[in-house]
Amino acid sequence: MRARRVFLRAAIAVLGLAIAFAAVGQEGVRIYNTAKQKLEAGERIIGATVSTADAGTYCAMANAGFDFLWIEMQHSPLSYRDVAEMIWACRGAPAIPFIRVPDATEGDIQKATDIGALGIIVPMVTTPEKMEAAVRFAKYPPQGVRSQGGGQYGALWGRDYRATANDNILIIAMIEQLEGVEAVAEIAAVEGVDVVFAASSDLRSFSGMSQGEPGYEAMVTKIHDATLDAGLVLGGPLAWRDREGFRFFQATSAAGLIRAGARVILSRPASGVAPIEGSERR
């Protein structure tokens, strides 16, 4: 009888542990990438482009209402030190930092993730192998080979960063060249890729065709169909926000925002009431 009671207690304890572990699994991993949350909810996200090292400008853009910031490290002189300081200066801002790395190298992606980027934008993608490498370098084991070194990521995103990073980092493949268009279905099929981005200007540059021409639109349609067939998010310039199927958008740079803001201010009728000095939102 005593042995039976011991057995029953042990069985109840095991059952309790099983229920506890199941509950943890049902709760899922903590998601702090709000841009990813919106995409998973079927919403659209917009990111402004950052190519200046000025922290004040970065913070103004990060608090302006964008979902993420497209930090431009392919076509700018920005260093990883510059970007690390900008992200840290405006930690806690609503816009999530994404970085367009110069290339899908282990060093570039390691540095980008270590300084806190939750989005890795990979340019000039023409083969699935390039995106396989990008995913591998951006993810910790067992999904990838990212090294666990130093960085400000933990102070930005929490002490559980190592356990949650793989589920929070978005991987974006940019299709810019004709070879990328031809291989887009294979690129979109790479496990770990979240977004495929149709790069409007470079599609024109590499093809010699302009938007609206049948050949150009055929390229966009091929990217569109392959991306959505793979169940991924389709991205493009903000000017394409009314195109069917697109949900990830790159907006203008700080210079473009200043020009647009100046036009709004200069065209606004006078209110007769001066703003309080120092009341401007930073």
Q: 10-14, 103-107, 153-157: which has the minimum mean pLDDT? A: 10-14
Is the pLDDT reported for residue 276 higher than 80? no
DSSP 8-class letter at 240: G
**Closest by alpha carbon to 171, among 224, 210, 134, 129?**
134
For residues 36-41, average pLDDT:
98
Label each residue of 23-51 as H, E or C: HHHHHCCCCCCHHHHHHHCCCCEEEEEEC
CA dihedral 101, 107, 111, 112 (to 10 degrees): 20
* Per-residue pLDDT reduced to its tens digit, 197-251: 999 999 999 999 999 999 999 999 999 999 999 999 999 999 999 999 999 999 9
**DSSP-based helix, strand, coil % in the chain, nearest 5:** 50, 15, 35
Residue 147 scores a pLDDT above 70: yes
Question: At residue 23, does pLDDT exceed 90?
Answer: no
Provide the pLDDT for residue 132: 98
pLDDT beyond 80 at 15: no
Confidence of residue 268 (pLDDT cuts 50, 70, 90): confident
Domains identified in the chain and CATH numbers: 31-172+238-267 (3.20.20.60)
3-class state of residue 256 by DSSP: helix
Longest dimension (CA), the chain: 90
Single out the catalytic residue among 30, 75, 241, 259. 75
d(CA 153, CA 198) in angstroms, rounded, equals 29
98 backbone dihedrals φ, ψ, rounded to 5°: -115, 150
* CA 81/CA 278 separation, integer angstroms: 30
What average pLDDT score do residues 120-149 get? 97
CA distance to 67, 103, 234, per residue, from 37 (Å): 10, 26, 16
**Catalytic residue check, 224:** no
* pLDDT at position 216: 98
pLDDT at 12 over 90: no
CA 77/CA 65 separation, integer angstroms: 26
The tokens describing 190, both together, are 């790479």
Q: 37: which 2 tokens?
A: 């949350």
Contact (CB, 8 A) for 248 and 197? yes
